[in-house]
Structure 1
Amino acid sequence: MVLLLILLCVLGYAVSRFRRGRGGWVFYGLAFVLFVASACGPVPMWLAMHLQAPYASRPAITWMPRNAIVVLGAGNTLIFATGDVIPPVNAGNRLIESYTLYRECKQSGNDCKLIVSGGDGSHVGKSEAAVYGDSLLRMGLPRDDLMLESRSMSTWQNAAFVQPMLKAYAPQRVVLVTSAMHMRRAQKAFEHFGIDALPVRGDYIGLWYSWLPTSQSLALTDRCLHEYAGVLLYDIYNAMGWTPPSSRPAAR
């Protein structure tokens, strides 16, 4: 979003400077309107609503004899004062939701594995899978039911690297846990690799208006645009035949 605003201002300056007219103010005006609409809430609210709405409700789950819960990473946080690496704030709800689902599955008397997927995308020396896995173990998850995928550096790789783990375990039910904002892009990747997973949102971002511009609204706009761009790129790559052939669903 910031780059788009800068581009509009640069275009406005170029038009005013080289054409010596008032056309540049059109670009300045567009930049101002876009900034206000983004920083005060209308744009991110509209974008986020369409991304999150399909996952607002938590689905009822019928557990099968063999189940796999896949939770996707959201980065890591390095505490510079101590050197410790911990899950970031926005990963907390994913961990809570995935562990809650695991408990529900086990209480139903069925077998269940929890797969954490995520490499060291934050470049802090530890993978998301390892850091989140430690948190889940402290929450009470049995080590035998924890599976770690620690190589992936993108949503696409999350799906690609989890696929063989699911094939080896052969679950009859797969549940995918990530943020509601991220779920559409994650589902596209997992479906491409033949993983028919039931989506369960780990978190849902609240929406608001503000009379004054806020950095939170600008950040939310950027995050939404990132998700839409990811979905669009997948569709383009798929249409151009630049992605591997789709697989049949591995589980439902």
Structure 2
Amino acid sequence: MTLLIVVLLVLLGVALRWRRKRSAGAWAMGLGVVMGLGVGCGPVPSWMLQHLQGGFDNRPPPQWSERNAIVLLGAGTYTVPGEDRVEPSYFAQGRLLETVELYRACKSAGADCKVFVTGGDVQSHGVSEAETYQHSLLAAGLPAADVQVETRSQSTWQNAQFTKPMLDGYGAQQILLVSSATHLKRSLLYFAHFGIKPLPMRGDLLKAIWTPYPQGWNFAVADAALHEYIGIARYYVYNAMGLNAPAIPARE
């Protein structure tokens, strides 16, 4: 998205200069170049991540309650070429590892713990994210009785909405939310709307690369961060317009 904006600005500048609007064309081209360098060389995505991931850098060990729920948010799946098999995406690996580590730590503390995996078949691969991740968790040694799936949700908003009754049914005294650090701020906002106040646990942390020349990685990082900021802004706009589902008060 950010690279497309840069290209469009430069093309706009060329078009304006061709139509003899040299001053406006120079401004558009200059803005495109500055944005391209700011994003591609690292400063802009670094700033975006700092305000998005701030507070999630450290991972303090949780104080386990008697009943604990670990909610794992999906990060996509992919089909294995040449095989009739669907696996968690590259971006889901850190979340899966964090979930396994949290579950084992919970059990080591002698507490009751359930994992709730949420995510539908967003990419139309024929199997939901939740079921795909469940298979990986069971392969890692988690018992089937402790891994529950929610397979309908198509978005982070629905992750929160559809997981709510499952968590209420379990009666969790503590809820841990596992996702990427870039995704946690928006996820916490959505879950809070449905009366869920979880402890955020990051599965991975993104970092931009500062370089003297533009790098594609930095554009990808900026796009990921921009997606989250748009999701946060959309929540407040929809709330102001009365388009969101009614908020649910959190339990004391």
CA distance in 2: counterparts of 1:248 and 1:99, whole angstroms: 30
3-state DSSP of counterpart to 1:224: helix
CA distance in 1: counterparts of 2:84 and 2:220, whole angstroms: 27
Question: 1:76 is matched by which residue type in structure 2?
Answer: T
1:1-252 aligned at under 5 Å gives the runs: 1-18=2-19, 20-250=21-251
Q: Structure 1 length normalisation: TM-score?
A: 0.95
Identity %: 43
CA distance in 1: counterparts of 2:87 and 2:166, whole angstroms: 25
CA distance in 1: counterparts of 2:88 and 2:47, whole angstroms: 29
CA distance in 1: counterparts of 2:192 and 2:23, whole angstroms: 51
- Alignment deviations for residues 145-190 of structure 1 (CA, whole Å, 9 cap, x no partner): 0100111111001000100101111101000000000000000010
Question: 1:134 is matched by which residue type in structure 2?
Answer: H
C-alpha displacement at 1:205, in angstroms? 1.3
Contact 1:167-1:250 at 8 Å conserved across structures: no
Unaligned runs of 5+ in 2: none
Give the alignment's Cα RMSD to 1 decimal: 1.4
Contact 2:160-2:190 at 8 Å conserved across structures: yes
3-state DSSP of counterpart to 2:169: helix
C-alpha displacement at 1:250, in angstroms? 4.3
- Alignment deviations for residues 95-140 of structure 1 (CA, whole Å, 9 cap, x no partner): 1101111111111111110011111112211111011000000000
3-state DSSP of counterpart to 1:246: coil
C-alpha displacement at 1:25, in angstroms? 1.2
- Alignment deviations for residues 35-59 of structure 1 (CA, whole Å, 9 cap, x no partner): 1111111111111111112111113
Q: Structure 2 length normalisation: TM-score?
A: 0.95
C-alpha displacement at 1:4, in angstroms? 1.8
Contact 2:39-2:218 at 8 Å conserved across structures: yes
C-alpha displacement at 1:2, in angstroms? 2.6
C-alpha displacement at 1:60, in angstroms? 3.1
CA distance in 2: counterparts of 1:99 and 1:20, whole angstroms: 60
3-state DSSP of counterpart to 1:205: coil
Question: 1:79 is matched by which residue type in structure 2?
Answer: V
CA distance in 2: counterparts of 1:17 and 1:221, whole angstroms: 31
Between 1:150-159 and 1:83-92, the stretch displaced more is 83-92
Question: 1:180 is matched by which residue type in structure 2?
Answer: A
Contact 2:12-2:25 at 8 Å conserved across structures: yes
Between 1:8-17 and 1:134-143, the stretch displaced more is 8-17
Unaligned runs of 5+ in 1: none
Contact 1:69-1:114 at 8 Å conserved across structures: yes
- Alignment deviations for residues 79-101 of structure 1 (CA, whole Å, 9 cap, x no partner): 12213211111111101101111
Contact 1:180-1:201 at 8 Å conserved across structures: yes
Between 1:171-180 and 1:118-127, the stretch displaced more is 118-127
CA distance in 2: counterparts of 1:128 and 1:136, whole angstroms: 12
Question: 1:181 is matched by which residue type in structure 2?
Answer: T
3-state DSSP of counterpart to 1:62: coil
